Amino acid sequence: MNLVAWIYFPARLAWRQLIFDRTKLIAATCGVLFACVLVFMQQGFRDALYASAASAPVKLHGDLFLMHKQSEAMWRPVRFKRSELMRALGNPAVAEVYPLYLGLAPFKNIETRGKRTLMVYGFDPDSLIFDIEDIKNKRTALRLKDTVLFDEYSRPEFGPMRQLLEAGRNVTEVNDYKITVVGFFRLGVSFAADGNIATSDLNFMRIFPDRTLTDIDLGIIKLYPDSSITQVQAELSSQLNEFVNIFTYDELLQNEKNYWANMAPIGFIFGFGTVMGLVVGLVIVYQILFTDITNHRHEFATLKAMGYEHGYFIRVVFASAFFLAILGFIPGYFFSLGLYHLAESKIFMPMPMTFGKAMTVFLFILSMCMTAGFLAIHKLKAANPADMF
Amino acid sequence: MSRIIDVHDLNFSFGSGALSQPVLKNVTVSIQKGEIVLMTGPSGSGKTTFLTIIGGLRQAYHGSVRVLDQQLINSSEQVKVSVRQQIGYIFQQHNLLKSLTALQNVSMALEMQNRMTEQQRLDRAAEMLKAVGLGERLNYKPDQLSAGQCQRVSIARALVGQPQIVLADEPTASLDKQSGHEAVTILERLAKESQTTILLVTHDYRILDMADRIVELEDGVIKEK
Ligand SMILES: Nc1ncnc2c1ncn2[C@@H]1O[C@H](COP(=O)(O)OP(=O)(O)O)[C@@H](O)[C@H]1O
Ligand SMILES: [Mg+2]
């Protein structure tokens, strides 16, 4: 028998049996759809978390990055001495080094006067360590005393800053220190901070009076063109104190992602959520296929009596599982797409529906249905042709 | 004439050991090609068991059962499947697939014949349904047909593959007199046309006259009449 007939005929029978009972088909589809949406949301939140966790380093402009070994992630750094960063200048390939100061501080909403924590980035305005045009363009304004740039992608709870600024209301408090918002940039929120402001290193010290310029959170190293990043990285790691990590740009990104994936329980929670969604879906699909086989066992036994082989019915079951996966996934995809848009507009998390994500979820759902099919085929033994007469 | 079914000293019991209950005892029967044999006998005498063994649906271990030149005693699954494919069954209940139309049900019997195209299958199935008087009902599903019509569809399904043997177990038992008689008459006519061998179990004395031969099974023992 040729391959097309081998799968086509059982698939056709599975399809005809599926669409015969519309009510049951709708119930079954809803089960898969439910699992699908659950998995999509878990994956979406998880990816949003990673994306936003890495949103700050993504925009950093440097070749190598110094971080304290005990710094788990950028939002909770362990400080180290600026002199350690300066020692990197001893390497002939190093062109410039810049410190970055990070601190979480309450920001007062100008309208409501409510306070909410955001991330403050302090750096030399002339250093150009951020690859963000708006920051580069505003560097003269940033050099003034008590000026900050506000991240437009911050959560709305900080107030409608653009309108306020246009209305001339641009003075507020960060860490109970009066500052002036002189412009905007775009970075994005993360799970660690609901918003961001950028300011000069000197202003940073004014906002955080207990901080000093000599204790830095992150060191950014720029090399002369044509020098090998990995070679300099190796050289520096033997030259510098061993309590600092020297990351390349990609390693820094990876370090941030790993933190959220492994160190923080959040990565585990979303992984767990995904597994639970799949388990619930598995149980539903198994239940559907199992009762389906039970209901059709006389029909299957009749076909067996006519000379159909056991493998044919296994293919019928797997084809049903496949159809359920497709039928549940398609509406599940569009439903999740809607929820992604909703999440983006309501909670300002970046939730893009990428082809890769859709593919991943589809493969999850497909394997879920196939596993359910695999578990259900043992019930086919109940279809005994000897009981047909 | 060749012996298409040849049974010698067939013994069969349900259960094992002390609970073993002999159902068929030294059954010896042979049926020639084209013969119509009716089997009667009281309920519980082993008629159904006998048919399921002949049809390759139940495994027997003692004696000799040759069907279409294949030995079914201690046979492999492959042998049984190949015998099943060459036999048409008519069950007491019509056993049609609920989700399929009459036409689809009948052409299911042809799906295993991979030399045919799908169109040929459908044409043959439609022809067969016309022959049983259901040419107007091709696209009806079982729950839109009467019990008699369903049984005629199942007769069409049993005959469409042009099997050498048709086995029928009380095919009229679930029908009223009128439609039961109709169904059996159609079966007889079509079988005669194509020289098909028929082994039919029945209690219906009004159809005994269609038989070339009648055998009676009583308590697992065959009595020829
Ligand atoms: N699956 C089975 N398991 C055990 N005993 C059975 C089974 N099927 C039938 N029997 C017994 O075998 C005997 C013959 O049954 P059967 O072949 O159905 O008789 P008939 O068709 O002549 O009424 C009966 O006593 C019945 O109880
Ligand atoms: Mg019986």
Same domain, A80 and A210: yes
* Per-residue confidence (pLDDT) for residue A1, from 0 to 100: 55
Same domain, A13 and A81: no
Assess if residue A250 is contained within a domain: no
Task: Match 């409608």 to its residue by tokens.
Answer: A160
> Domain of A14?
2-53+265-388
**Does the structure show a pLDDT above 80 at B128?**
yes
CATH code for position B57: 3.40.50.300
- pLDDT tens per residue, range B161-176: 999 999 999 998 888 8
Number of domains in chain A: 2
Assess if residue A249 is contained within a domain: no
Same domain, A227 and A288: no
Q: Are A90 and A276 in contact (CB under 8 A)?
A: no
* Per-residue confidence (pLDDT) for residue A87, from 0 to 100: 93
Q: Which residue of B has its CA nearest to A296?
A: B97
Q: Which residue of A has its CA nearest to B201?
A: A389
Assess if residue A259 is contained within a domain: no
- pLDDT tens per residue, range B175-189: 888 888 888 899 999
> Domain of B99?
3-224
Q: Nearest by CB to B95, which of A9, A13, A388?
A: A388
- Interface probe with B: pick from A18, A20, A298, A306, most Cβ of B within 10 Å: A306
Number of domains in chain B: 1
Pocket flag, ligand 1, residue B14 (CB < 6 Å):
yes
Determine what percent of chain B is predicted with pLDDT higher than 90: 75
Chain B residues inside the 8 Å CB shell of A389:
48, 51-52, 57, 89, 91-92, 169
Strand ranges (DSSP E) for chain A?
64-68, 80-81, 94-108, 115-123, 147-151, 171-174, 177-185, 196-200, 215-216, 218-223, 244-248
Same domain, A104 and A49: no
Same domain, A322 and A201: no
| Stretches in chain A below the pLDDT threshold 70 | 1, 53-57, 263-264, 348
* Per-residue confidence (pLDDT) for residue A91, from 0 to 100: 92
Which helix (H) or strand (E) element contains residue A334?
Answer: helix A310-347
- pLDDT tens per residue, range B90-122: 998 999 999 999 999 999 999 988 889 999 999
Among B88, B114, B82, CA closest to B194: B88
* Per-residue confidence (pLDDT) for residue A346, from 0 to 100: 79
Q: Are A120 and A207 in contact (CB under 8 A)?
A: yes
Which helix (H) or strand (E) element contains residue B41?
Answer: none
**B153 Cβ neighbours under 8 A, 6+ residues apart:** B94, B96, B102, B105, B106, B129, B132, B134, B142, B145
Q: Enter the pTM of the model.
A: 0.79
CB pairs under 8 A between A and B: 65
**B161 Cβ neighbours under 8 A, 6+ residues apart:** B85, B88, B109, B110, B113
CA of B214 to the centre of ligand 2 (A): 17
* Per-residue confidence (pLDDT) for residue A170, from 0 to 100: 93
The pLDDT of B192-209, averaged and rounded, is: 88
Q: Per residue in B55-74, is it b (16+ CB within 10 Å) or e — as a string?
A: bbbbebeebebbbbeeebbe
Q: Which residue of A has its CA nearest to B54?
A: A386
**Does the structure show a pLDDT above 70 at B1?**
no
Contact B84 A305 (CB under 8 A): yes
Q: Which residues surround ligand 2, an ion (CB under 5 A)?
A: B 48
* Per-residue confidence (pLDDT) for residue B122, from 0 to 100: 96
Same domain, A36 and A157: no
Assess if residue A370 is contained within a domain: yes
* Per-residue confidence (pLDDT) for residue A190, from 0 to 100: 75
Same domain, A297 and A379: yes
Model confidence at B125, pLDDT cuts 50, 70, 90, reads: very high
Same domain, A37 and A104: no
Contact B85 A307 (CB under 8 A): yes
Q: Are A243 and A69 in contact (CB under 8 A)?
A: yes
Contact B84 A9 (CB under 8 A): no
* Per-residue confidence (pLDDT) for residue A312, from 0 to 100: 95
* Per-residue confidence (pLDDT) for residue B5, from 0 to 100: 96
Pocket flag, ligand 1, residue B220 (CB < 6 Å):
no
Same domain, A382 and A270: yes
Please name which ligand lies nearest the alpha carbon of B170. 2
Same domain, A121 and A210: yes
